[in-house]
Amino acid sequence: MLDKKTILKSDDLPRERVTVPEWGGDVFVRTLTGTERDSFEQSMLRGKGKNREMNLSNIRARLSVLTICTEDGTRLFEAKDIDALGKKSASALDRIFGVAQRLNGLSGGDVEELAGN
């Protein structure tokens, strides 16, 4: 059986190298932590109760900021970088977004489920 120390010490945030020709090189994209995933999902909703609506504004940059990292998994960007990153190539962000979605099990169905709940 696993113990607390082993679980907390494990490197459970796999990452994948992604070539971004628009930027002239490669970046790593990693899985989200539980806290980051909750925050990202919360950022996709505006309003409360029955008045909630989807917030897809700058969604590619928001997810990219949370998942672009160094080879050792350290994030490269902070929340304050979302707008600046959102002004970069849509093709580059789309590529990173796709990998981040796959690594994190985020699908269009997940977005619809959030809107419904």
What are 72-96's pLDDT values in tens digits? Answer: 999 999 999 999 999 999 999 999 9
**Tens-place pLDDT, residues 14-55:** 999 999 999 999 999 999 999 999 999 999 998 877 788 899
96-99: list long-range contacts, CB under 8 Å, 24+ apart: 96/18, 96/20, 96/27, 96/29, 96/60, 96/63, 96/64, 96/67, 96/68, 97/59, 97/60, 97/63, 97/64, 99/16, 99/18, 99/29
1-7: list long-range contacts, CB under 8 Å, 24+ apart: none
* Cβ–Cβ under 8 Å, residues 64 and 77: yes
Task: Name all domains of the chain by residue range, CATH numbers in brackets.
Answer: 15-116 (3.30.2220.20)
